[in-house]
């Protein structure tokens, strides 16, 4: 197998792109894909500060590495979710983030839910206060990302979602014809009053491409899975997409990219955020009287 650029020994074969790359040209391919995504979709303005939400996994750490290489003003945000107890998943993840930030001299803010909220996600599950761990986790993550962005003076929050994540979310939304979510789904959610812009610069790279990037760059990342992920529907959807991809390479990327090009604009009016107002409790912008994070806080206070 030879690199399509220099005919050297290939380390990566990308059937979906009908290409193979040597180490250097693979790294160049990843950098080019991400910088083009940022430029074409106007994700990050010149000189703008970016808050990168890092979980300690390969995707978000690779994203932070890339944005630093591109010369952006990067700050890290890590949310310690209170999952897995002492020495468990959340503690392990934090360790990888701390070492990554220290080695690169990057400013890193850590918000531990158990300190900031008085409880972590395991506690929400134990007290049966949320519908599913991931929905409670998701809403608290969104709340803290937004709050931290405002406090850190960043108008942009970048997350490490890759093509596999985005295609699985898309499939899930299509299966339910969730038109509101389809209208909001995309690699860029514009900033609105009280909400930072949210961007996903890795959305055109597969999970395998990002993993190889992390390995080739020597980025150490947490390999353990969140214990709540096991039953998650998204993993099953990813499996289905991988089987489709094996049969006909390129399906995953066509599914997502053609959605963005041809279908997403048709759903965008469904996603208008009408009548945002400050939450009665915490002041975060919301469409209801009390925001989703505060509703969960209320339930935790009474159980």
Interacting residue ranges for Zn ion, rule: CB under 5 A = 3, 5-6, 8, 22, 25, 279, 281-282, 284, 291, 294
Give the E-state strand segments of the chain in sequence order: 12-14, 19-21, 49-53, 73-80, 108-112, 156-158, 188-189, 197-199, 277-278, 285-286
Q: How far apart are CA 296 and CA 23, in angstroms?
A: 47
Does 138 bind ligand Q46 (CB under 6 A)? Our answer is: yes
Cα–Cα distances (Å) from 19 to 7, 249, 265, 270, in that order, read: 11, 12, 31, 38
Indicate which of ligand Q46, Zn ion, none lies near residue 187 (CB less than 5 to 8 Å, by partner kind). Answer: none
Binding residue for ligand Q46 (CB under 6 A) from 14, 121, 158, 204? 121
In this structure, what are the phi and psi dihedrals at residue 105, rounded to the nearest 5 degrees?
Answer: 65, 35
Q: Using CB under 6 A as the criterion, what x/- string covers residues 197-226 for binding ligand Q46?
A: -----------------------------x
Distance CA 200, CA 169 (A): 13
For 124, list phi and psi in degrees, rounded to 5.
-60, -40
Do 54 and 76 meet the contact criterion of CB atoms below 8 Å apart?
A: yes
Among 44, 50, 66, 137, binds ligand Q46 (CB under 6 A): 137
**Which of the listed partners (Zn ion, ligand Q46, none) does 291 bind, with a CB threshold of 5 to 8 Å by partner kind?**
Zn ion
Least spacing, CB of residue 147 vs Zn ion, in Å: 10
Report the nearest approach of ligand Q46 to the CB of residue 131 (Å). Answer: 12
Q: Could you say which of Zn ion, ligand Q46, none residue 121 binds, taking C-beta under 5 to 8 angstroms by partner kind?
A: ligand Q46
Residues that bind ligand Q46 (CB under 6 A): 81, 121, 133-134, 137-138, 226, 228-229, 232
């Amino acid at each position: 197998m030879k690199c399509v650029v220099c005919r050297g020994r290939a380390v990566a074969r990308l059937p979906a792109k009908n290409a193979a790359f040597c180490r250097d040209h693979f790294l160049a391919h990843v950098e080019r894909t991400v910088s083009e995504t940022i430029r074409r979709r106007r994700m990050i303005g010149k000189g703008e500060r970016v808050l990168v939400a890092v979980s300690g996994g390969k995707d978000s750490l690779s994203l932070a590495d890339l944005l630093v290489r591109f010369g952006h003003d990067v700050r890290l945000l890590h949310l310690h979710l209170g999952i897995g107890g002492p020495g468990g998943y959340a503690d392990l993840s934090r360790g990888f983030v701390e070492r990554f930030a220290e080695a690169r001299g990057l400013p890193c803010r850590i918000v531990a839910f158990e300190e900031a909220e008085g409880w972590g996600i395991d506690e929400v599950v134990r007290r049966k206060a949320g519908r599913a761990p991931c929905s409670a986790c998701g809403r608290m993550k969104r709340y803290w990302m937004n709050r931290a962005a405002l406090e850190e003076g960043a108008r942009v929050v970048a997350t490490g979602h890759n093509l596999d994540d985005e295609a699985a979310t898309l499939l899930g939304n299509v299966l339910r014809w969730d038109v509101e979510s389809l209208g909001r789904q995309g690699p860029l959610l514009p900033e609105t009053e009280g909400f930072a812009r949210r961007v996903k610069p890795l959305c055109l790279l597969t999970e395998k491409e990002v993993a190889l990037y992390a390995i080739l760059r020597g980025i150490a990342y947490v390999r353990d899975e969140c214990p709540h992920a096991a039953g998650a529907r998204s993993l099953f959807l990813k499996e289905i997409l991988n089987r489709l991809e094996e049969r006909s390479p390129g399906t995953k990327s066509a599914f997502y990219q053609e959605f963005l090009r041809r279908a997403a604009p048709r759903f965008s009016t469904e996603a208008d955020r009408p009548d945002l107002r400050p939450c009665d409790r915490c002041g975060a912008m919301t469409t209801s009287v009390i925001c989703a994070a505060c509703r969960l806080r209320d339930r935790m206070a009474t159980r």
